[in-house]
Structure 1
Amino acid sequence: MITMPIKQEIIDLTDDLDDTNVPMNTSNDIVPVTNYGVGSCFLDIQESPMKKMKLETETCMIAPLSICPKNEFVGGFPAVNPIATSCKQFWKAGDYDGNKEGACHDQTVVGMDHVRVHPKFLHSNATSHKWALGAFPELLDNAMDEVCNGATFVSVDVLDNKKDVGSKMLLVEDNGGGMTPDKMRQCMSLGYSAKSKLANTIGQYGNGFKTSSMRLGADVIVFSRGRDRATSMLTQSVGMLSYTILRGTGKEDIVVPMIDYFVKRGGTWEMLVRSTADDWKRNSETIAQWSPYENEQDLFQQFELLKGDHGTRIVIYNLWEDEEGAPELDFDTDPHDIQIRGVS
């Protein structure tokens, strides 16, 4: 058994504008690391109560960070033929120039363009991790920083992709404070670090989230449930960062589909609309089309897997392969360990 001490001086600042003090974990316990299932690592700090949420059957949904004109969209993305074949080797996946016909960018302020970031930046940004296992610490550090928000565990596991039989996915989950819709957008934004001013933190869900997730796989989907400190409103958000979408549709801007929910009195969930219900619907359809999940109901059910009233599930899929077409990560040699294939 491996033991890992938790640094008690870690302070969370998931919102630079929020000066609210949060309770600190003052325990000096050593965290036992116990293996569960294939390639899983589960850091159990203490037992946390779980509240069951009721599911509302009505369909409702939200909008992306960058939106193209509606008549150019089919399922949330331009109706263009894929201009790039899918490359499953990380070090070759950056050979992509985009397609101006499939590109669009919005003017969020009249007369002023937003800064454009080409999808190739997602790949080049991730090359900071020379080998795949080097990407894990970023994700684990982010989860461990949630101790001050009530996190009692962080789990790393391997899942089966039901839409791509035989394909594996990586799961990183914690039961920390979770993310509000605004924090989810900060998580998906490039160059944002909520905790850059603090000496003892690495930048929760900042640039490291993008570099690490994109180094492990071409796509990542994030499910997070959190409570807004100012309004006390409980929300759920789904965000997807997909290199596969951007390459397949010839995008020259990074577009991130997201949907949000909020809980009503009585425990039922409804869509949280930031623009229009139609935009919400398009984002939901886009996520369902390109993610490992079939529909909105399937997406919503992922929140039921959270072990508590708040937390975050990060699912990385379309994992990179080596030159022989085998997964870069080895989940088979040791069922309780994730290794690099071919490295002993």
Structure 2
Amino acid sequence: LMPLFCGLDGSICLSPNYLHSNSTSHTWSFSAIAELIDNAYDPDVTAKQFWIDKTMIKGQDCLTFTDNGAGMDYDKMYKMLSFGFNDKQTVNGHVPVGIYGNGFKSGSMRLGKDAIVFSKNEDSMCVGLLSQTYLEQIKAEHIIVPITMFHAASLQDILRYSLFQTVDQLLCELKAINSPSSTNSTGTRIIIWNLRNSSEQLEFDFSSDRYDIRIPADVYESSKKQYKKPEHVMQSGPETDYSLRVRFQPLY
């Protein structure tokens, strides 16, 4: 019960290096975060709330993204973690944002090398691991993604290669999806670690403002130079360019 795939139908095999090269479509980290928010907004998820936070797990800085949407079963998570698959449909005039089936993969891998997805709907719980570190360690020639129904016995690779080594630790993350008003909430929780850095400095500043995630000034300036932005923009960029709260609060 741990399907490992190349393409959804098994016909297209992708090199693990593709996870990184695919992520470079995002020259700006906030556009990668927007992909994860948009997924929660889509009509098949319809999350009413979305939480972005930073946490420490086993000494590693991690970004967490949690929504209280419909959650995913095994089949939906398999499709979410597949490349190029998209079956989103307009519901009551609510048009889905993503159309290429690539947003989660490009966005999550832009933010860090490794991501684990916890999800539960009304009937089931499942866990999926999208990890460049995992693929490097097992010397995979193609992209392999362990996905398992939570009650299944085959959790071996997820427990061995993620930040979570016990079933109880995975259960704690699934329980974190619960809202304060309900013990049976549905939703999805994404944890990303091995966060991208610039000159050995994290791309994000988690400490300057406890209620915000910001891009440090020197990282912001160096990224402007790297992507050849006009000089006048580099000198006085708007706060929406480096404050996650200021950037997304008006939009969502």
Q: Distance in 2 between matches of 1:255 and 1:292?
A: 18
Q: Name the counterpart of 2:143.
A: 254
Q: Distance in 1 between matches of 2:84 and 2:99?
A: 12
In the alignment, structure 1 segments of 5+ residues that lack a partner are 1-61, 67-104, 228-233, 262-269, 272-276
> After superposition, what is the alpha-carbon deviation per residue over 1:34-90, rounded to whole angstroms, capped at 9, x for unaligned?
xxxxxxxxxxxxxxxxxxxxxxxxxxxx31324xxxxxxxxxxxxxxxxxxxxxxxx
The DSSP-based 3-state class of the residue aligned with 1:337 is: coil
Q: Distance in 2 between matches of 1:197 and 1:304?
A: 30
> Contact between 1:133 and 1:340, CA under 8 Å: does it hold in 2?
no
Matched, 1:309 2:185: yes
Matched, 1:169 2:62: yes
- Equivalent position to 2:42, from 145, 167, 178: 145
> Contact between 2:115 and 2:129, CA under 8 Å: does it hold in 1?
yes
Matched, 1:124 2:21: yes
> Contact between 1:218 and 1:317, CA under 8 Å: does it hold in 2?
yes
Q: Distance in 2 between matches of 1:243 and 1:136?
A: 19
Q: Name the counterpart of 1:292.
A: 163
Q: Name the counterpart of 2:207.
A: 332
In the alignment, structure 2 segments of 5+ residues that lack a partner are 179-183, 221-241, 243-252
Q: Which amino acid aligns with 1:168?
A: D
CA RMSD, Structure 1 to Structure 2 (Å): 2.6
TM-score by length of 1: 0.57
Note the C-alpha offset of 1:204: 8.0
> Contact between 2:89 and 2:95, CA under 8 Å: does it hold in 1?
no
Q: Name the counterpart of 1:226.
A: 121
Matched, 1:209 2:104: yes
Q: Name the counterpart of 1:48.
A: none
More helix, by proportion = 2
Q: Distance in 2 between matches of 1:318 and 1:219?
A: 6
Note the C-alpha offset of 1:194: 2.4
Q: Distance in 1 between matches of 2:189 and 2:99?
A: 14
Q: Name the counterpart of 2:52.
A: 156
| Bigger RCO (CA 8 Å, 6+ sep) | 1
Q: Give 1 or 2 for the bigger CA radius of gyration.
A: 1
Note the C-alpha offset of 1:210: 0.4
Q: Distance in 2 between matches of 1:338 and 1:157?
A: 8
- Equivalent position to 2:4, from 56, 61, 65: 65
Q: Distance in 2 between matches of 1:246 and 1:149?
A: 29
Count residues in correspondence.
212
The DSSP-based 3-state class of the residue aligned with 2:50 is: strand
Note the C-alpha offset of 1:206: 2.9
Q: Which amino acid aligns with 1:124?
A: S
The DSSP-based 3-state class of the residue aligned with 1:183 is: helix
Q: Name the counterpart of 2:32.
A: 135
Task: List, as ranges, runs of 4+ consecutive aligned residues in structure 1 with deviation greater than 6 Å.
Answer: 196-199
Instruction: Indicate the percent of aligned positions where both proteins have the same amino acid.
Output: 37
Q: Distance in 2 between matches of 1:322 and 1:247?
A: 21
Distance 1:197 1:176, change over 3 A: closer
Q: Name the counterpart of 1:73.
A: none
